[in-house]
Amino acid sequence: MLVVENLSKNYGKLKALSEVSFHIKSGEIVGLLGPNGAGKSTALKAITGLVRPNGGNITIGEYDHKDIKAKVLFTYIAETPDLYDMLTVMEHMQFSAYAYSLNNWQDKANNLLELFELKDKANELGKNLSKGMKQKVSICSGLLHNPELLIFDEPFIGLDPKAIRELKNIFRKLKDNGKSILISSHLLDSIEDLCDRLLVLKNGKLIAKGTLDDLKSRLESERFTSLEDVFLEVTK
């Protein structure tokens, strides 16, 4: 579903990403990990076309990531869940429906809002919502057009425990339906039981990739039992 080959991105002299390559298959959840400033958000922005890569290829489905046809296939939930200040929650859903040329979207929109306990906020303006609620609205809008690839930048930050559980359940359901999910997160225990594979970035380079068991076995020590142990060891 997503193929990233030799992705590089420079900001002036700073190499934010250096020859990063990975892929995500259909029905797979992949976690993108890394310390602060590792290049996780830049990688996601490059995939979604928000920043221009200096080198490499990105393919979504069978299309180049900047192709309009590729954009129909994915959704991107940004780290900072900024909404349109002067649109209501339901109007954000309507916006997504129009932008993605959806028909009969209302029922699904209502279901999503209900799932994330936003039903009573449907007519509330974006600017009046808390950060967590904004995050929920972003997620609901992103899920509305039933994308094949879902890209989340720190999706759990700002969410309450119930919403985190609901989102995890949604991730699992989407995976069962053959959707691909790329999650960047600092909350290691939140994604430990969720991801099929992990990618670890450090200083713009992909320093480790594989399943959690792969990474553990590569470290050849029984001391490393959790994702946190593995992460701290490989990024040392």
List contacts with other proteins (CB under 8 A): 45, 48-52, 66, 68-69, 71-72, 74-76, 78, 80-88, 91-92, 95-96, 98-100, 125-126, 138, 141
Amino acid occupying residue 140: C
In the chain, what is the straight-line distance between the N-terminal and C-terminal CA atoms, in Å? 31
Nearer to other proteins, 85 or 114 (CB): 85
Cβ 230 to other proteins shortest distance, Å: 31
**DSSP secondary structure letter of residue 140:** H
Cβ 30 to other proteins shortest distance, Å: 19
Nearer to other proteins, 50 or 232 (CB): 50
Bridge partner list, 76: 151
Helix pair angle (131-144, 89-99), 10° resolution: 30
Residue 195: helix, strand or coil by DSSP?
A: coil
Structure tokens given for 30:
């992949």
Cβ 126 to other proteins shortest distance, Å: 7
Cβ 50 to other proteins shortest distance, Å: 5
Strand-strand pairing, 205-210 and 197-202: antiparallel
Which of 140, 157, 7 is closest to 75 using CA atoms?
A: 140
Distance separating alpha carbons of residues 160 and 93, to the nearest angstrom: 21
Q: Which helix (H) or strand (E) holds 152?
A: strand 149-153
Cβ 100 to other proteins shortest distance, Å: 6
